[in-house]
Structure 1
Amino acid sequence: MAVEVSAGRPRIGAPGWALAAIVLAGLNLRPFLTGVGPLAPVIRASTGMDYRGMAWLTLLPMVLIGVGACLAPAMRRWLGERRAVLLALALVGIGSLLRLAWPGGTALIATAALCGLGTAAAQAALPAIVKRQFPARMAMVMGLYSAALMAGGALGAQLTPWIAGLSGSWHAGLAVWALPAWAGWLLAWRALPRDAAVASAALAGDVADANARAEAKANANASRPTTIPVLRLLGRPRTWLLMASFGVMNGGYASLIAWLAAYYQERGWSGPASGGLIAVMSVAQAVAALLLPTLAARSPDRRAWLALALALQAIGFAGLAGWPDLAPLAWAVIGGAGLGGCFSLYLVVALDHLPRPEDAAALGALMQGGGFLLAGCAPWLAAVLHDATGSFAAAWWYHLAAVVLVMLATTRFDPRRYLAAMPSRA
């Protein structure tokens, strides 16, 4: 059992509770994004926003997620990992709740920004918590965390239009996600260990033994994180390759959650039915995000599994672009599985590069930061392509070409060369 050294009352330190807090936090980081697409026609009619304006509801949060992730090492030093997660869930809860009380297009974009900042803080801190708390099961737990992200996206896409229809208000459909955000805050406050103040010890005798407490406190202070400077990481080409690959790959996810529902609504589908496509895609993402890292954990070389995930993405985008009415559910499932597996595998690959949790988390934060800055542009580019061609099919062709480029980049991720590509501190 993890024993927390603290002047106050002890908190839950059991790994099961910490894992539950990580999963519930992950579930809260996507509904505010995926719930918008199925309601796009209603929101456009109510606010007067066009497709390029609607693109900001995805673009701005992703850009802020990217900026926040780039600043993650400094943020973790200032706040600590646990407090960063608490702040993140509070921002998501506040941003979601404000969607009920603060109507209008500008307000919708502003609340998306709040939720985006919260997501940035959580995605920067949670991988470090995973690697610190579950070092022997890091790949499996990262897969579970990634699956929670995707499952949250599925819930957002499926339940938001249903709640909006039940309540008669699209504002209520979007604001309801404040409830699980605050539930996640309470669990994280209760279950996550205090930053740099947790020591694991097998206590055979009395827990209150003074010598054991003194030793635990000394170990905790000795393990206080000192991270590789960001500028040093940015000076390594491997960091930029990870950022570019992660960003181009996640651009496909950003475009799909923004426009897949609208694409099929233009083909005669209803809002709930088109939202169901996003939900099915997100469920497939969640399953693949959990399954592929677990399978990939058998070997330190993740490239074969990355190639499989990218091939699935290619099939999904080709189907959506060339044969959208042939098997829409199949395209959503296949493409979603590729996106979910790739997302979680990239998180694992970033953590694989460096042995220390703080350093690996800093690299992962930079990869997500630069990647989400790049991915955030994809929905806006898709809207431009739609305006130029009259269909989102052009955007799916673009993402198919992007997948091919990422496939080429993954050949560089040979674990035998990680030390040369990303040398640890001296």
Structure 2
Amino acid sequence: MSTAAEGTPVNGQASTRRGLAAVGLALVIVLIAINLRAFLTASSPLLGEIRGATGLGFQGAALLTVLPMFAMGPLSLAGVALAQRIGERAAMGLGLAAIALACASRWLAGSPAALMGSAALAGLGAGLVQALMPAIIKRAYPVGMGVVMGLYSSALMGGGGLGAMGGPWIARWAGDWHAGLAFWALPAVLALAAWALAGRAALLPVAAPVGTASGERGWLQCFSNRRAWLLALYFGLLNGGYTSLVAWLPPAFAQQGWSPQAAGALLALMTAAQVVAAFAVPALARGRRELRPWLAAMLLVQLAGFAGLMLKLSPAPPVVALLGFGLGGGFSLAMVLALDHLPDPSQAGTLAAFMQCFGFMIAALAPFVTGGVRAATGSFDGAWGWLAVVVVLLLALTWRFDPRRHARATRGLFGTRQGLPLPAAVVSR
């Protein structure tokens, strides 16, 4: 038998193993992502019970959403530095352990301070995971990166839907609202175990693309780059709609006579639509560097949804699903947009971490602003109108992200040069 003939089965087996490893890693990524929002959305449908037991006011209750989002911000940058010290695998495990511990502690949390502490700890853990995941995905999937990022985004939002739907039902089954919050420690422990077994596959070294300065990855350089700040502002305003709806959508419909389970189901429906869009839209946009029309389309869908809420269109579920579709597609496309700016996975991941850092802090303030508008106007209609105005601003900002100017906009960042071409693998994602 010839050498070529002998080599063919071996190559085929190696290709099969690589394919199975890629699928296995994708499943682990999905499991991890599910844990990044469930703890956040589980509390919103239970606010009535939580406020009754702890004495929290509306602004205090909003902190259960605001604190985790705000905590995610600094960890998005600190996570990059931590991973350089202890390794990505250990840092990812630390983030998942923090989420598990925070959720488990809620079984005993009976005071506002304890609830706030658990919310902040969970946010820190989620921020650490989110800081590392974009670079891991870009490195592990140089071809098809947009599809896997869409899968990650859809699972992240799907976890939010599970929290919104499952939280009140678990609390009702157990007869205790603590159970609806503490249950989410279980999937976090499962994700931690899966990562411990399979995480090494995500960290295989790969050659840096030709022409990049992979050693120059300090996130401090992002502070002097206008494009990095523009991405952070865009990402923050885009996610401000999500955080506002997580905080206020169930209470808004509870005021209209909806039960906690029904209001939670409405939030879960919004999240289900996010899941569909977060996966489908990047897949449809695959192979296109020009993402602006796709982003604009998602923003127009959001605008229609906020208008529907403001006008109290009935039935409400289609309006909420429309909002979820626009939010989900916009989130995943924004992540791909940041990664598209630089060809090197670590550099692109650092830029995405900077975007998430300040973006999440901006998004964390959104429930306070919308809550203030609601207090000033006496109804949630004004809050929905304010969010519609923000969407119009985002439409204007979208056209600043011309892909032909990505290289110029990131010139000097991490040692990159103007006009650096993207590798074929990146262009063909």
Fold in common (TM above 0.5): yes
Amino acid aligned to 1:290: F
Structure 1 runs (4+) deviating above 6 angstroms are none
Match of 1:418? Answer: 406
Match of 1:364? Answer: 352
Cα distance in structure 2, aligned partners of 1:227 and 1:69: 18
Match of 1:51? Answer: 58
Amino acid aligned to 1:32: F
Instruction: Check if 1:72 corresponds to 2:79.
Output: yes
When normalised by structure 1's length, the TM-score is: 0.89
Mapping of residues 305-344 of structure 1, within 5 Å: 305-323=294-312, 325-344=313-332
- What do the CA deviations read for 1:260-303 (whole angstroms, capped 9, x no partner)? 00000001111000001100000000100000111111311111
Match of 1:252? Answer: 241
- What do the CA deviations read for 1:56-98 (whole angstroms, capped 9, x no partner)? 1111111110111132321221232222221111111000000
Match of 1:214? Answer: none
When normalised by structure 2's length, the TM-score is: 0.89
Mapping of residues 257-272 of structure 1, within 5 Å: 257-272=246-261
Superposition RMSD in Å? 2.2
Instruction: Check if 1:143 corresponds to 2:150.
Output: yes
Does the residue aligned with 1:226 lie in a helix, a strand or coil? coil
Match of 2:341? Answer: 353
Cα distance in structure 1, aligned partners of 2:55 and 2:370: 19
Mapping of residues 184-199 of structure 1, within 5 Å: 184-193=191-200, 198-199=204-205
Cα distance in structure 1, aligned partners of 2:202 and 2:263: 43
Match of 1:215? Answer: none
Per the TM alignment, residue 194 of structure 1 is displaced from its structure 2 partner at its CA by: 6.6
Match of 1:112? Answer: 119
Cα distance in structure 2, aligned partners of 1:392 and 1:153: 22
Amino acid aligned to 2:229: W
Alignment identity in percent? 43
Mapping of residues 11-410 of structure 1, within 5 Å: 14-193=21-200, 198-199=204-205, 226-323=215-312, 325-410=313-398
Cα distance in structure 2, aligned partners of 1:190 and 1:371: 32
Kept after mapping to 2: 8 A contact 1:284/1:336:
yes
Does the residue aligned with 1:240 lie in a helix, a strand or coil? helix
Distance change (3 Å), C-alpha of 1:327 and 1:379: same
Per the TM alignment, residue 177 of structure 1 is displaced from its structure 2 partner at its CA by: 0.4
Amino acid aligned to 2:237: V
Cα distance in structure 1, aligned partners of 2:406 and 2:298: 21
Per the TM alignment, residue 105 of structure 1 is displaced from its structure 2 partner at its CA by: 1.5
Match of 1:212? Answer: none
Cα distance in structure 1, aligned partners of 2:183 and 2:142: 35
Match of 1:7? Answer: none
Cα distance in structure 1, aligned partners of 2:81 and 2:323: 35
The unaligned stretches of length 5 or more in structure 2 are 1-9, 11-18, 417-429
Kept after mapping to 2: 8 A contact 1:81/1:126:
no
Cα distance in structure 2, aligned partners of 1:415 and 1:58: 34
Match of 1:206? Answer: none
Does the residue aligned with 2:107 lie in a helix, a strand or coil? helix
Cα distance in structure 1, aligned partners of 2:202 and 2:142: 17
Cα distance in structure 2, aligned partners of 1:233 and 1:98: 36
Does the residue aligned with 1:326 lie in a helix, a strand or coil? coil
Per the TM alignment, residue 15 of structure 1 is displaced from its structure 2 partner at its CA by: 1.5
